[in-house]
Amino acid sequence: MRLGLIGFGNIGTALLGLIAEGAPLDHLTVLVRPGAADAARSRLDGELKGAARSHALVSDAAGLLADRPDLVVECAGHSAAEAHAPAVLRAGIDVVLVSTGALADPALEAALKAAAAEGGARLILPAGAVGAIDLLSALGTGGGLEVRYRGIKPPAAWAGTPAAEILDLASVAEPAIFFTGNAREAATAYPKNANVAATLALAGAGFEATRVELMADPSAPGNVHEYSVVSPIANYTIRIENKPSSGNAKTSATTIYSVLREIRNRLGPVAI
């Protein structure tokens, strides 16, 4: 496979580390900011060398497309998704969008759907840090969904977000809910922390109808995602206790494995 990667932060490098443990990619193209190219090159030539037989670094979508990737993974945040994903989709190349919260912007969601339709490509939304998305999506086809989500993380994982203006994160001694609203509001206010809320909304009842609570809990075993679904077809509740990724407390380690699964589904004879 020829893989394109938009972004070379915690998710991108951890993903390549997992790929390096198995069969290498035929070619890897990484789109990075110009100022980050030297550091990225050093890592690709070093501990990540086994991820691909060859690699290239580019600074824009044109350079990425020139390398003819079979699949592109976006893992650089909402602004990068907006800047680069439309051109890739219009070129007929499928995009795995890790920053699902970017679709809380109705204009961007419409633009990405239009670009995918124009290019005959698919915008793929991985499950990320949450489970049972297949069931939620199936129930959504029947309508009448009620979805409630609670995101729980240790106080330190909310540093650098609006939560720090609501709570004194350093002194939180017991569980504290600091946000209550819908999934669109959550994904907009907490773009680096609420991708799960967006994924649930997109798979199920929609952004406005999906209710969200965000909580800082010093006793949380990691990044915890709880959600309940009530529908005319089935009801269920799920709680997932994710270990944070080693490079970023805001990111659940399962997110990286979810993206790896999307890649492997392209390579193997059976997709599940």
What are the helix (H) ranges across the chain?
10-20, 37-45, 61-66, 78-90, 106-119, 133-140, 163-166, 183-189, 195-203, 253-267
- Which residue among 55, 78, 84, 225 is the active-site one? 225
Is residue 225 annotated as part of the catalytic site, yes or no? Answer: yes
How far is it, in rounded angstroms, from Cα 167 to Cα 216?
A: 9
CA dihedral 20, 24, 29, 32 (to 10 degrees): 0
Answer yes or no: are the C-beta atoms of 188 and 173 closer than 8 Å: no
Give me 172's structure tokens.
């939180």
Helix (H) or strand (E) holding 72: strand 71-74
List residues with catalytic annotation. 225
